[in-house]
Structure 1
Amino acid sequence: MASEQSDDSSLHLPQSEGQLDLEHEKDLEVQAQEYVDRVWNPETSGPRPQSCPLEPCSEQQLRSSKSSGSDLSVKLRTSQVLPGESAQSGLLSLPWELVLEICSYLDARFVLGVLPLVCRTFQSVLTDEVTWRIRAQKILGMSYPVLEGKDFDWPTACIELEEHLSHWSSDDPRAEHFSLSDGHFASVDSVLLVQNASLCISGSRDRNVNIWDLRRLGQVREKVLVKTLGDHPRGTHRGWVWALAAQENMLCSGSWDSSIKLWDLASDGAAVREIRGKAAVLCLVYLPDVLVTGSYDKTVTMYDPRVGYPVLSSRKMHSSAVLCLAADHRFVLSGSEDRTLVVIDRRTNHILQRLQLDSYLLTMSYLNGELWAGDKWGLVHVFDQKDGNFQHVKCFNVGHRSQLTGISHSLGTLYTSSTDKTIKVHVPTEPPHTVCTLPHGDVVNGICVEGNVLAAASGSMSLEIWRMTK
C-alpha cells in the first residue's frame, strides 16, 4: 500500500518551468491560429455587399489628357519674359507651350532641380504649381489626386508619378526581385524597412525577428541574413511575431506572447528592454514622443519613449480586437474587428470620433491627414481629415479577391497586398489605376515600401524584395 501511495503522489508533482513554458506557448499558438482562421483566412472574407464598387477596367484608365490640361494651359499663355532676361535668346523666344513640351521629355527631377537655375524666367515658370499640374494630367489623363488639399505638393507628386511609372509600367519592370528563404521556418507575418532601406526586419510565426542587410543583395557569396535577435533558444519571442515598428535606431517587436521588445540597431541589435502587456500585440506605431500598441483584448495603449516607456494611457476603445493603427502629432487612429474606426485626440486623450464601417480594416497608410486603408473584402477606403474631423470619402475596388494585408501610399504611388497571393502596384488616381500585378505562390501577409525598395512578408516562409533600378 505504501508503494501504491508513493506512485500515486508522483503523478501530482509540480510541472517543471520548461514544461509550463511549452504549454503556454502552445496555448498562444492555438489562440493565434484561431484569430488567423477567423480574420485573415481568404475563405472567410465572405461575399461583398452589392454596394461595393465594381472592379475597374484598368486598360481603359490611362488615356491622354483632354479638356483639363488645355483649361489650365491658358494661364501660361500670358507668361512674359521677366525684366532683365533676353527675349531673343534660345528657348525664351519660344511659346511656353512648346517649352513645356520640350521639358516633358526630360526627367521631372532634372527639370525641377536644374533648369530653374538657368535664368529667372525658367525659375518663375518651372516652379509654378500650374506647370506641374498640367504635366501630371498629361501623364495620367485621369482624375488626380483623389484628395487635393491647399498644400498639395504638385512638383513632388510629378516626380514620384514619373519615377513610379518608369519602374513598373513596362512589360519588363525595372525592378530586381530577390526571394530570401533561408531565415525563417514558418510564415513571415511582418516586415519593416529601416535605415533608408539598407536593412530589412522580418517577424515570423517561428517566433523570431531577423535582420537582413539588403546592401548585400546580388553579391556573390554574401549572406544577406545578418542575425536573429535575442538569445533565447526557442526564439526572439515566446509567441508569433505579429508587429514591427522603428524610430531612428530603436526597433520594437510585438508578439502574441503579450510583450513588446526593444532593440538597439546601432548596437548590433542589442536588447534594450521588454514591456509586458496583458494580451497579444497585433499592431504598433512608433513616433519620437509616443509608442502606440493595439492588442487582442480591444485595448489601445500609449507609452512615452522619452522617459523609460511609462504608460500614458490604456483604454478599451473597441468591442473586439484592435487590428491596425496609425498616428501623428495630433491623432491616434485605431481600426478593429468590430468594424469601427476610432479617432483619439492625443492632447486630451478623448475619443473624437467613432466611425461605423461596413467591414473591418486590416491595414492603414496615413500621410498628411489623408488615410488610405484596406478591408476584409480587399477594398481600399480613403478618409479625409479637415479641422480635426475624419470623413469616409471614397471606396475603391482595386482588383483584389480577399483581405488586404498591406497598403502603402504617397503623393504619386500606391501599393497593396492581399491574401489572394498578389501584390498590386497602382497610381493613386480616382479610381486607382493598376500598373502591374506581382503574383506570388502563397498569401502575402504585409508590405513595406521605402525609397527604391518594396519588401513583402510571405506565407511561404520567405521575405520577398524588389529593388527598383534607375
Structure 2
Amino acid sequence: MKILVIAFRKVNKNASTTHYRTRAAVMDHERGQHGNVQGSDNDSDEEVSGDPDTKAQEYISRVRNQDRCAKVGPKVPGSLSVHNRLQATDLSSALDLKKSPASEDAEASHLLLLPLELILEIFSHLHVRFVLSVLPLVCRTLRDIVQDKVTWRIRVQKRLQGSYPVVDNPDLNWPAACLDLEELLDHWSGSKRNSEHFSLTDGHYASVDSVLLLQGGTLCVSGSRDRNVCVWDLTKLGQEGEKGLVKALGAKSSGTHKGWVWSLASRENNLCSGSWDSTIKLWDMGAEGQLCREIRGKTAVLCLSYQQDILVAGFYDKRVTVYDPRASQPLVKSRKVHSSAVLSLSADEHYILSSSEDRTLVVFDRRANSVLQRLQLESYLLSTSYCAPEMWAGDNQGLVHVFENRGGAFQHIRCFDVGHSSQITGVRHSPGALYTTSTDKTIKIHIPTDPPQTLSSQVHCDVVNGISVEGNIMAAASGAMTVEIWRMMD
C-alpha cells in the first residue's frame, strides 16, 4: 500500500510540472484573438462547459507558463514628488532636536534634561513594544514624545536607506509601521536568520496552490490540486512526532471539492474555498471546520476576497461576482467586467479591484455600483495586496507594481524589479514588510522602500504558488506537494 501511495504522489508531481510546456502555441493563438479586447458590463448567463481538470490544465499552460514570461525592463513612472519622501529637514523642523523636552516639566528627571536628539537615540535601543507600552506611563513628557508621529518617522529613517513610504499616507500608523519594520529586520537581516523552518509533507499528494493562516497564525489551511483543503495546527510544530495535520475538510469519501482547490479567503472564523469544480464552500472554523453552505457558480473560481459584509469571487468566465453569505439567496451582483479570466481580487468597504489575463485592472465603486476605472497594463497581475491608499501587485513578468488611490482615482506610480526571474504568484504587503513568491522557486522578503530592499531570498525545490503571513508565522504553498512554514523566534 505504501509503495502505491508513493507512486501515486510521483505521478501527480509529474502531471503538475508538465503543464508548463503544453499547449502554449494554441493558447498564444487564442490570446491573440481576444487578449486585448476591452471588458464590458455584460451580465449574460453564458455557461462554460467542459471537464474542469482539462480546463485547469489549459489555464496553467497559458497563464502559468514560465516560457512565456520573458522579463522586460520595468517602465517606472516619473519620480515621486518630494512630499512622498522621508526628509530629515522636514523632521527636524517639526521637533527641535537640540532642545531638552523637559524644560517646563516639573516631573522631569535628569535624563529628560538631555537634548531630544539624545533621548531619541536612547529610545532607539529599546524595543518598540516597550517604548509604546511602558514609557507613556512614566511621565507626561515621555508620553508626549511617544505619541508624536515624528518620533517614529525619525526612528524609521535611521533604519532605512531608500525613500519611505512609497505612497504618501497622512493616516499612516507610524508606530505600527516601525514595529513591523523592526521585527522584519530582526528576523531576516544579517547572516543569522532568527527563524525555524518546517516542511509539512503528509497532507497533500498534488501541488499546493493556496495557503492561508488563521487565528493569529496558530492555524493554517491549504488548498491543493488533490481537491482537498487541509487544516494544520501550528502550535505544536517542533515537538517530537508532531506533524501538524489536523484533517482535510469535507467528507472523507468525497474530499473537500471535486476539482482543484485554487483559492482561499477568510473573515474571523469563517473560511471559504474556491475550486475548479465551480463551487465556493464556506466552513465554520469555530465549529471544527463544519460545512456551512455551498455556492455554485458556472465556471472555475480563481480568486476570492472575504469582506465584513460581502464575499467577492473572480471567475474563469471573466466575471466578478458579489455574494452575501448570510442571505438565503446569496447572489448580489455578477458582472462581466473583463475580456479574459479574472486572476486576482482585492477589496475594502469602498472598492473592488480585479485584475485579469486581459491585462487590465478594473476598479469597481461599491457605493456607486459601477465601474470607476479601467487601467490598461502591459502585463497581467497574478497577485495583489491592497490596503488603502496603496496596492502592491506581482505580474507575469516577475515585476512588482505599486498603485495609489488618490481621492478615488487609482494611478500606477511605480514598477520594481525585485529579483524574480519569472512570474510572481504571491504578494503580501504591510506598512513595514513586503513578501513575494514566484515560479522561479524563491520566496523573497523585502523592506517596502523605493526601491524595495531585499533582506532574504529563500530558495525552494519547486515553484512557490502563494504566501500568507500572520503574527510570527510565514506560510508558503509549494508545487512540491508541501506547505512550507517559517516560525519567527523572539
Alignment TM-score > 0.5, same fold: yes
1:205 to 225, 230, 255: 225
- Count, aligned residues: 432
- Could you say which residue in structure 2 is the equivalent of 1:85? 106
Task: Please state how far the C-alpha of 1:296 moved relative to its aligned partner.
Answer: 0.3
Q: Work out whether 1:458 is the aligned partner of 2:482.
A: no
Deviations 1:26-59 (A, max 9, x none): 92211101111111122221342x4546xxxxxx
Counterparts of 2:372 and 2:49 in 1: how far apart (Å)?
38
For residues 211 and 346 of structure 1, what CA distance do their matches in structure 2 show? 33
| C-alpha distance 350-78 of structure 1, shift in aligned 2 (>3 A) | same
- 2:349 partner amino acid: H
Percentage identity across aligned positions? 59
Q: 8 Å contact 1:85–1:121 — kept in the other structure?
A: no
Q: Which residue of 1 aligns with 2:398?
A: 378
C-alpha contact 2:211 2:475 (8 A) present in aligned 1:
yes
C-alpha deviation, 1:262, in angstroms: 1.2
**Partner SS for 1:334:** strand
Q: Which structure is larger by alpha-carbon Rg, 1 or 2?
A: 1
Q: Counterpart of 1:36 in 2: which secondary structure?
A: helix
Alpha-carbon distance, 1:232 to partner = 5.3
What corresponds to 1:160 in structure 2?
A: 180
Contact 2:301 2:313 survives alignment (8 Å): yes
SS of residue in 1 equivalent to 2:346? strand
Aligned: 1:276 with 2:296: yes
Give the one of 284, 287, 308 matched to 1:267: 287
Aligned equivalent of 1:362: 382
Q: Distance in 2 between matches of 1:135 and 1:161?
A: 11
Partner of 1:61: none
Aligned-residue offset at 1:161: 0.9
- 1:193 is paired with a residue whose SS is strand
User: What residue in structure 2 maps to residue 138 of structure 1?
Assistant: 158
The answer to whether 1:94 aligns with 2:114 is yes
CA deviations over 1:292-324 (Å, ceiling 9, x no partner): 000000000000123235211001110000000
Residues 309 and 148 of structure 1: CA distance in aligned 2, closer, same or farther (over 3 Å) = farther
Q: Which residue of 1 aligns with 2:69?
A: 45
SS in 1 for 2:340: coil
- Which residue number in structure 1 is paired with residue 91 of structure 2? 72
Say yes or no: does 1:228 pair with 2:248: yes
Match of 1:28 in 2: 52
Structure 2 unmatched runs, 5+: 1-47, 77-85
Say which SS state the counterpart of residue 402 (structure 2) adopts. strand
SS of match in other structure, 2:379: coil
1:57 corresponds to:
none
**CA spacing shift, 1:84–1:47, aligned 2, 3 Å:** closer
- Superposition deviation, residue 73 in structure 1: 3.2
Residues 215-254 of structure 1 deviation map (CA, whole Å, 9 limit, x = unaligned): 1211122341000111152421111000011111111110
SS at match of 1:102: helix
Classify 1:100/1:295 alpha carbon distance in 2 versus 1 (closer, same or farther; 3 Å).
same
Mapped partners of 1:144, 1:229: distance in 2? 42
**Residues of 1 paired with 2:479 and 2:329: CA distance?**
33
SS in structure 1 at match of 2:420: coil
Amino acid at match of 1:29: D
Q: Residue 52 of structure 1 contacts residue 397 of structure 1 at CA under 8 Å; is this kept in 2? A: no
Per-residue CA deviation, residues 306-358 of structure 1 (Å, 9 max, x unaligned), is 32352110011100000000000011000000000000011232000000001
Q: Is the 8 A contact 2:258 2:277 kept in 1?
A: yes
Task: Return the alpha-carbon distance in structure 1 between the equivalents of residues 54 and 285 of structure 2.
Answer: 32
For the Cα contact (< 8 Å) 1:69–1:138, is it kept in 2? no
Contact kept? 1:384, 1:393, Cα under 8 Å: yes
Deviation of the 1:196 alpha carbon: 1.1
Aligned to 1:336: 356
After TM superposition, give the deviation of residue 191 of structure 1 in Å: 0.4
Q: Aligned to 1:238, which of 258, 271, 275?
A: 258
One of 126, 130, 133 as aligned partner of 1:110: 130
1:293 aligns to 2:313 (yes or no): yes
- 1-structure distance, mates of 2:90, 2:304: 45
Residue aligning to 2:4: none
Q: Distance in 1 between matches of 2:298 and 2:50?
A: 17
Q: Measure the CA separation in 1 of the matches of 2:388 and 2:62.
A: 33
DSSP-derived class of the 1:305 partner: coil
Shift of residue 85, structure 1, vs aligned partner: 2.1
SS in 1 for 2:61: helix
1:10 corresponds to: none
Tell me if structure 1 keeps the 8 A contact 2:167–2:389. no
In structure 1, how many angstroms separate the alpha carbons of the residues matched to 2:90 and 2:75? 34
How far, CA to CA, are the matches of 2:193 and 2:126 in structure 1?
20
- Mapped to 1, the partners of 2:423 and 2:317 lie a distance apart of 22
Structure 1 residues 309 and 98: CA distance shift in structure 2, 3 A: farther
Name the structure 2 match of 1:18: none
1:49-64 counterparts in 2 under 5 A?
Answer: 50-52=73-75
Determine helix, strand or coil for the equivalent of 1:202.
Answer: strand
CA contact 2:99–2:115 (8 Å) conserved in 1: no
Q: Look up the equivalent residue of 1:85 and give its one-letter code.
A: A
- Provide Cα deviations, 1:256-304, integer angstroms capped at 9, x if missing partner: 0101111111111111111110000000011121000000000000001
- Stretch deviating more after TM superposition (188-197 or 68-77): 68-77
Q: Which amino acid aligns with 2:127?
A: D
- The secondary structure found in structure 1 opposite 2:280 is strand
Equivalent position to 2:439, from 401, 419, 432 = 419
Structure 1 contact 25–239 (Cα < 8 Å) conserved: no
- Native 8 Å contact 2:187 2:193 kept in 1: yes
Residue number in structure 2 paired with 1:349: 369
Distance 1:93 1:78, change over 3 A: closer
1:199 Cα deviation after fit: 0.7
- Which residue number in structure 1 is paired with residue 42 of structure 2? none
2-structure distance, mates of 1:205, 1:25: 20
**What is the RMSD computed on CA atoms of the aligned residues?**
1.8
